Structures are given as C-alpha cells and as structure tokens.
Amino acid sequence: APFIEAVFDTIPDETKRIPFSIADRSLRGKSALIDTFFSILELSKCRFSVSEVLAVLEDEAVQRRFGLNEQDLDLILHWIDKTGIRWGMDKSDRERQNLPAFEENTWRAGLNRLLLGYALPKSSQSFLFQGILPFDEIEGSDTLVLGKFITFIENLFNCVQSLDMSQSLTDWATFLMGVLEGFFSPDENSEAEAQEIRRVLNSLVENSNRAEFKEQVSREVMLAYLGHYLENEPLPSNFLTGYMSFCAMLPMRSI
C-alpha cells in the first residue's frame, strides 16, 4: 500500500491524478491508532528503546491525550539526546531481559536528571546529587512540557509492567480498554478505529461469558487474539468504489 500511495497520491496536478482505492488492507495496516495501540502492547517484548517509545508519542491521538504538540516533541527529543537516554526502563528492566543490570542510559536515569534539573537551583546543577548530574536546561514553560512527558512515560511504565501478569479474559478486556482510553484521544477521523478496538474487546467478554471460561491467560495469548482480529482481518471497504482498485488476488470476489 505505501508504494501504491507513493505513485498515485503524490501528483501535485489534480487534473492528472488517477482516483484510486486500496482494498484488503488489515485494520492495523490502515489505522495509525490501532498500529500505535499494538506498539504499546508490544513494548513488553522489546528493549524499550528511544525509537520504540517515540513511535508511540508521535501518534497524534497520543499527543492530544497528554496535551503535547509537535513543538513539544522537538523539545523532548532534545532532552532525550542530551540526557543520554538509550534503552531500558531502569536497571531492573534490563535484568528482566537477562542483560547486565546497570542504570546508566535508561529512561529512569534520564528522567531523574530532568527532574533534578527542575528541582535544584542553578548554582547546584553543576554538581552531582546522590550520584546524579542534574540537567541544567529546564526553565520557564519547559516545566509544563516536562510534567506532561513524565506523566506519559510513567503511564507507559505501569502499562508495560502490568502486561507481564496473566489475567482472566474479562480482566484483560478491562485493562486494554483502560490502555485505549488512557493513551488515546481520538478525533472524528480516528474515533471509528478506537470503536473497532472496543468492539473486539466487548466481543471477547461476551464470548468468554457464554463459554463460562474463567481461566487466566497470558499476554502472548491475548496479543495473538487481538492480532487475529486487528492485524489480519481486512477492512470490508474500498472495493469496487468506482475508482481504480488495488486488491488481493482472490477468486470470484465480484460474483
């Protein structure tokens, strides 16, 4: 789909553009919100690198939820670079991944530097405080952005740590609904995508109640279930719309 859009959707002259539609794209492939929702859940299997976290924060619905904008994101990128954040929530997170447990260059180490830079007076920021060097560029309205950024990161920490627990299907649905509402503020264009996630989770609860299934399931099982419906299931639209159609080669689909 990106290659098709690169050819047909980048012609500046409207009179020369060929109207087109792309069918058979999965919900995740079509929706930035659903893709970011999965990215949050998949952080529990990753190293929590800068690129993985920023991929979440760059989503417009996430920025709206935490009151951030593109200009704020540039400032946050500057902070991340200058404080040396690279990967891992903290040393315990690294140990969980069977890697050396050191705090340096983790998100926690960087956040501590940012908070100390805000809390301590300028005269104290060139000295170590309990082994931490304060970051000396936090001032003025930057503190508002810092507060929003730390709220986002702490919520992300809590979410990822909670994913390690096995839960009942009903509890999983409640938890994942909380992730959706806690991290996303959909606009009129993405509300339908958020509603699709709610539909899948509500269906999960209904089916588990009918089957009287009370067993606890792991994160892997839950992600596989969501993946079946949100990653693989195609959107039932954009086929034979009157435009040039791109679609999968399926037999007898027009009959």
Q: Which of 69-73, 179-183, 204-208, 229-233 has the least mean pLDDT?
A: 229-233
pLDDT in the model for residue 125: 55
- How do residues 11-37 score in pLDDT, each as one tens digit? 777 777 788 766 656 666 678 899 999
Mean pLDDT of 110-124: 82
Cα(255)–Cα(241) distance, rounded to whole angstroms?
A: 15
Q: 136-165: buried (b, 16+ CB within 10 Å) or exposed (e) per residue?
A: eebeeebeebbebbeebbebbbebbeebee
CATH superfamily of domain region 27-232: PCRA; domain 4 (1.10.486.10)
CA distance 221 to 227: 10
List pLDDT tens digits, range 58-89: 999 999 999 999 999 999 999 999 999 999 99
Distances (CA, A) of 31 to 45, 55, 166, 186: 22, 14, 28, 12
Q: Residue 207 is encoded by which pair of tokens?
A: 């089916």
Q: Where are the domains of the chain?
A: 1-26+236-248, 27-232
249 SS3 class:
coil
Tokens for 188, please give them: 């009129």
Task: Out of 34-38, 77-81, 130-134, 189-193, pick the least confident.
Answer: 130-134
The span from the CA of 233 to the CA of 227, in Å, is 9
- Coil/strand/helix, residue 132: strand
Threshold 0.85, pTM exceeds: no
Asked if 167 contacts 132 with a C-beta cutoff of 8 angstroms, the reply is: no
